């Protein structure tokens, strides 16, 4: 699945986390020009635009991707309760809206429904990387057809890593994006879980997760390299 366009950049952490947990790849853009410039070859899968902090740029982004031959669908707009008036005469700019602060479950439910209604792609069900397959619907992971017995957090960590092959993440980033809450183990927790994941992946696949010295971890290789 191509990434969702996300405005603004940097993405609000709670939004980034909700999308990661929902299994949606995404890419933040800074303004309307970036929205065009950074569009992937197969087009954006959809867009989530936050208009609560900088509505002017936000609506400019919406206009850019909607006012063209094939308008981008679906577009979910996030606004604060005091901005409801601004929706007037802008019905063509979005498919649905959500009030901030939002509930992650509501965001997920609305996106799912939008994708279904617009018929433009559906929620990604599988993450595949070579022999590794993660089924996001059933929470099951398998390598070379062998099911992996994972705990919830091991599964979430593997899902996050496998969704971003080739990218290097620091321990803090992984902790905040995958765990998202204070955990007894602190940043060392990540090392512990990586060690456990490698053991479960088995010797021949353990190197899927690489330690990047004095930085953190990365998974496999980017599809764009080599």
Partner 1 sequence: MERQQDYVLRTVEERGVRLVRLWFTDVLGQLKSFAISPAELETAFDEGMHFDGSAIDGFSRVQESDVLARPDPNSFELLPWSSEDGNSARMFCDIESPDGSPFEGDSRQVLRRNLDRAHDRGYSFLCAPEMEFFYFADGNPNTAPEPLDTASYFDLTTADVAGNIRQRTIHMLEAMGIPVEYSFHEDSASQHEIDLRYTDALSMADNVMTFRLVVREIAMEHGAYATFMPKPLAGQQGSGMHTHLSLFEGDTNAFYDADDPYKLSTVGKSFIAGLIRHAPEITAVTNQLVNSYKRLIIGYEAPVFVSWARNNRSALVRIPVTKPGKASSTRIEYRSPDPACNPYLAFSVILAAGMAGVEGGYELPPEAATNVFEMTDQERKAAGLRALPQSLAEALDEMEHSELVAETLGEHIFEWFLRNKRSEWADYKSHVSQFELSRYLPNW
Please report, as ranges, the residues that interact with partner 1 according to CB under 8 A: 21, 105, 138-140, 147, 149, 151-155, 171-172, 182-189, 192, 195-196, 199-200
- Nearer residue to partner 1 within complex by CB, 63 or 198: 198
Identify the bridge partners of residue 170 per DSSP, sorted by sequence position. 216
- Nearer residue to partner 1 within complex by CB, 2 or 154: 154
Q: Name every residue whose Cβ is closer than 8 Å to that of residue 140 and which is 6 or more positions away in sequence.
A: 134, 147
Q: Name every residue whose Cβ is closer than 8 Å to that of residue 193 and which is 6 or more positions away in sequence.
A: 153, 154, 157
- Nearer residue to partner 1 within complex by CB, 30 or 170: 170
Minimum Å gap between C-beta 149 and partner 1 is: 4
Question: Is residue 102 classed as helix, strand or coil in its secondary structure?
Answer: coil
Minimum Å gap between C-beta 135 and partner 1 is: 8
Minimum Å gap between C-beta 170 and partner 1 is: 9
Minimum Å gap between C-beta 172 and partner 1 is: 7
The string of DSSP codes covering 44-97 is -S-EEEE-SS-HHHHHHHHHHHHSSSS----EEEEEEGGGGGGGTT-GGG-SEE
- Nearer residue to partner 1 within complex by CB, 29 or 150: 150
Minimum Å gap between C-beta 40 and partner 1 is: 28
Extract the tokens encoding 114. 């939008």
Find out whether 180 and 17 touch, Cβ atoms under 8 Å.
yes
- Nearer residue to partner 1 within complex by CB, 54 or 108: 108
Q: Which of 76, 223, 75, 73 is nearest to 163 (CA)?
A: 223
């Amino acid at each position: 699945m191509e990434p969702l366009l996300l405005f603004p950049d940097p993405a609000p952490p709670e939004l980034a986390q909700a999308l990661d947990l929902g299994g949606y790849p995404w890419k933040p853009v800074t303004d309307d020009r970036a929205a065009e410039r950074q569009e992937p070859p197969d087009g954006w899968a959809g867009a989530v635009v936050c208009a609560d902090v900088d509505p002017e740029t936000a609506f400019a982004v919406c206009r850019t991707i909607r006012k063209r031959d094939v308008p981008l669908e679906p577009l979910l707009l996030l606004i604060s309760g005091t901005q409801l008036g601004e929706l007037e005469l802008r019905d063509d700019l979005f498919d649905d809206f959500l009030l901030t602060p939002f509930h992650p479950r509501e965001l997920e439910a609305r996106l799912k429904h939008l994708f279904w209604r617009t018929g433009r792609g559906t929620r990604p069900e599988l993450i595949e990387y070579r022999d590794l397959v993660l089924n996001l619907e059933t929470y099951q992971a398998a390598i070379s057809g062998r099911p992996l017995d994972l705990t919830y957090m091991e599964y979430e960590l593997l899902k996050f890593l496998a969704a971003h092959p080739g990218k290097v993440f620091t321990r803090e980033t992984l902790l905040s994006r995958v765990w998202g809450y204070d955990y007894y183990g602190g940043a060392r927790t990540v090392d512990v879980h990586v060690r456990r994941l490698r053991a479960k992946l088995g010797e021949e696949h353990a190197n899927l997760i690489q330690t990047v010295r004095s930085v953190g971890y990365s998974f496999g290789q980017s599809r764009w390299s080599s």
